[in-house]
Structure formats: C-alpha cells, structure tokens
Structure 1
C-alpha cells in the first residue's frame, strides 16, 4: 500500500488486513518472525499467542514486539490496519528498550507505554469501511506525533540497512558497515532492535528464504534457499528455531492471513524501492 514519506521514517510497511468468515466461524494462522507491529482493529475479534507463552486477548489495539519466533493468531471477521515498526521507528515513537518487548505481545489499550497511540484506535474507523479515509487519518495521526529524541538515529538507520543487505553475513561486517564498534553495535541492537546482531543476521537470512518460497512456492525450498546457507540442514535447523516447525509442515499448512500479507509486503517494498530509484534519477538529472 502506497504511503506518505513521513510514515517511512517510522515503518517498514503499512498494511490493511480484511478477513470474512461465516457467522460464528474463525480462522487460525501464524505470523513469521519480524519487526515490531501495532495493529488497530475495527472490531476486537482477533487474539494472539507466542510459543513462549505471551498472549493478547481481543482488543481494539494490540502490539507485538520484535520477534525471533512465530506468533499464532485466531480471528473471526476482521478489518485491521497495521504498521510494521522498524527499529528507528520504535526508538522515535516508543522509546522503551526493544528487548523488553522481544517475542512479546501487549494490549495497547491497557499498557501505559502505548497510551499515546490510543487516540488513533478510537478515531481510525468510521461507521462504514473507508480505505482512503482510514489511511489519511492514520497518516495524519503519525505525522502529527512529536518524535522522541534519539541521539543514535543515524547509527540505527545504518545498522537497519546493513542487516537487510544479503552481502552482510557477519557481525564484524555489520559493525564496519554501520561505522561503530562491535561493543556499541551489541548495545544498540539490544536496545532498538530487540536482539543481538548475530541473531538479527540469522533471522534476516531465514526470512529472505521464507518470503521467496511463500511468494513463489514453485521454487521449492532448494530454489528459495538464501545463498549464505552452508547447506539445507542448516536451513532446517533455523526453520525449527524461528518457526517451531519443519519446512515441510509449513508448506502443507493453510496460510489464509500470512500469505496475502507477505505478497502485499513484497509489493510495498518493490514500490518503495522504485520510488527511491526515481528520486535518485531525478536528483542526478
């Protein structure tokens, strides 16, 4: 979904999820490891839980911290706006150490840390669904927030870009690209990313493979495997750690929510990169 540049300062993506089921019915699915997310629900019908025992009940506004494990969801009819909060966005909007919410879930309507976002949950939806109007209200709300002071803003942005670069596959490379010492990198990652740098690199390597397979299952796992994996056995070990299941089990499961979300996210990233490329060409003209 196309979003204003002001939102890209805080979010890796902005998404709208709609689920329709028969009266009294529900669907179950799981979300893969990811950055933190805030989710605003028109009707509080969705619940979630993690492998580690964290859970959140039905709420108009829920928050998931940065995750290195899958999270399970159960929902009836749903209209949900969500923002995927990248580490700089977490530092500028939330400000609490990210590791305190790692692999956790929170009810944004009761957790005082997220009180400043509750007015959006209360005003985002009108009496009828209105995608353009809802997106405008969401954009205006976050554009109107005063960001918190973050002295390491430039370093966070450099680490974030480097973590996602498939050419970066070691902590020394990551520290070098970010232009900071390894000790500083360790502290910064715990505070704003939620995990140590080695875990972040492993997670991104795994996610590149998972997303490629989900978008195009015809690749098979061998075709989707990231080039930095030594062998398929190493990937299977990572799969069990990050998803709590085997690649075969994942491939056989229905994914009524996560699959459309992955496709939409890939489209969003491609559109964002096309926008950056166009801006660069215009700047150089």
Structure 2
C-alpha cells in the first residue's frame, strides 16, 4: 500500500473548540473517532464531517473547526491511490467532502468500530491496515507510468513547467490535461501553481526574514502575484503566515529544529 497512501496521522485534542486553516491538500480519508468537526472550502459554507469521510483533492485553502474532546485518524491518498482505491474521476470530487460509507459500505462501519474500540496506537493502525487491505481487493490498476512522472515533475521543480511535462510524456496537451483531471483533480497549470506556492510557503516559513523574493524563488511575476496565490492555496497572506505566534511558523520552526523540515513532496503534501 505504500505506493497508494502517503501516511496515517492521528489528530487529537482535549480543548472545547479549535479553528484552523488547512493548506490545499491531497485527497484524504478521515475517521472521526471522537468529537465533531466541520470544514469549508474557500468562502463556501461549512459542511459537517461524517464519522467516515472522503475529501477530494483541494486546490484552495480549507477552514476547519472542531469541538472536543476530539480524536481523528486521517489518511492521505496519493494520486495512484485515488485511482486504484476510489476510481471516481478526481475532478468530480475536487474541493468536496463526501460520506465514505457510500463508496465502501461493507468495510467502513466495521473499520470505524474497530478503530473506536482500539486501546493502543498499534491496534488503531492494525484496524486501518485491515480496512485498506479490504479496499485494495477491488482496486483498479493505477497508471503508474503517468503518476510517477507527474509526481516527480511536481515535487522536483520549484516552478513546474507544463510544456516540460508534456514533452516528457510524449503526449498531446489535451491528453495530459484529461489524465490530470482524472487522477489529480485539476488542470496541469493549476496543479503547478499549487505546488510551487506550497514550496514557497515552506521556504518562507524556514527563513521568514529573507523576504518574499527569496521565498518565491523566481517562480512568481511580482509580489501581488505571490500574495494572490499564497492566499488561495495557504489561506492567508505571507505576512500572516510568518506573524509572531503564527501556528504555521511554530510548526515549521519545530520541524527545522528536529531536522524534519523539507520541501513538500507529492508523498507528503497531505
């Protein structure tokens, strides 16, 4: 499953309420084990999270609110994983949240109950493993020849060039766009904008005093262009992102101290 799933993560807190902004993401499967939560894409209305949800790929920042005590197991789906395990064209689910039980009714409720009853992280992960192994029994063969090339194009370049991807794949622009919509949920130019902005956000967070030009890395026309895309994909201005006490800056500072900070890769943008 390592080529289909980016990571498992457990998010828990005991506070009565929290609100946050999530950057544009890979698709997510989430099991809400305790508490309640809701999300909103961009300026849209909030949608309540069911006990098991599927969030399609996002091309805008997401507002998140939750009431605790709260506990959630989340799973990031890679593009190959979306194609194999979900099968639905990704562009139909972009910036949308849906009930996972409608897609895999046989295993979802059982997996949720096993996770809810788990008394250790080991048991929790075992329940998640069992669910995804069950889901994989009906998996479709993913187009790895396409996703591996596209993943490398997105993660290895500070400013991904669509024409370079088209040339490397040896296909027409229309063919590449059709495949990108199906497996990544958006057109190549928008996807390139998303990844270069997320990479710029990491550079800015790791070196907040270096200025926007250093963070932009020559991938943006001017400061207004940088701010506009930053607000779209990160959910705030660069100034808000690096303001004193900003949770984003705090997270990146901790990651830098522990040596775990890195440019966003397709396997970790989740």
TM class by shorter chain equals 0.7 to 0.9
CA deviations over 1:37-86 (Å, ceiling 9, x no partner) = 11112114221111252643143212221111111111122221111112
Any conservation in 1 of the 2:34–2:70 contact (CA below 8 Å)?
yes
Structure 2 counterpart SS, 1:235 = helix
Equivalent residues in 2 for 1:19-168 (5 A)? 19-21=13-15, 25-53=16-44, 55-75=46-66, 76-109=68-101, 112-115=102-105, 118=108, 119-126=110-117, 128=119, 130-144=120-134, 145-150=136-141, 152-166=143-157
CA deviations over 1:206-228 (Å, ceiling 9, x no partner) = 01011333455455544433342
Any conservation in 1 of the 2:159–2:196 contact (CA below 8 Å)?
no
Return the TM-score normalized by structure 2: 0.82
Matched, 1:172 2:163: yes
Any conservation in 1 of the 2:241–2:249 contact (CA below 8 Å)?
no
Shift of residue 245, structure 1, vs aligned partner: 3.4
Q: Aligned-residue CA RMSD in angstroms? A: 3.2
In structure 1, stretches of 5+ residues that fail to align are: 1-5, 274-285
* Residue from 1, 4, 16 that aligns with 1:10: 4
Q: Which runs of 4+ in 1 moved over 6 A?
A: none
> In 2 relative to 1, CA 146–127 (structure 1 residues): closer, same or farther, beyond 3 Å?
closer
- Whole-Å separation in 2 of the counterparts to 1:90 and 1:166: 23
- Residue 251 of structure 1 corresponds to 242
Most deviating of 80-89 and 241-250: 241-250
Return the TM-score normalized by structure 1: 0.78
Most deviating of 200-209 and 244-253: 244-253
* Residue from 181, 190, 194 that aligns with 2:185: 194
Most deviating of 25-34 and 44-53: 44-53
> In 2 relative to 1, CA 132–238 (structure 1 residues): closer, same or farther, beyond 3 Å?
same
CA deviations over 1:225-277 (Å, ceiling 9, x no partner) = 3342343332112123334532223334866599659959x94979x99xxxx
Q: Count residues with an aligned counterpart.
A: 259
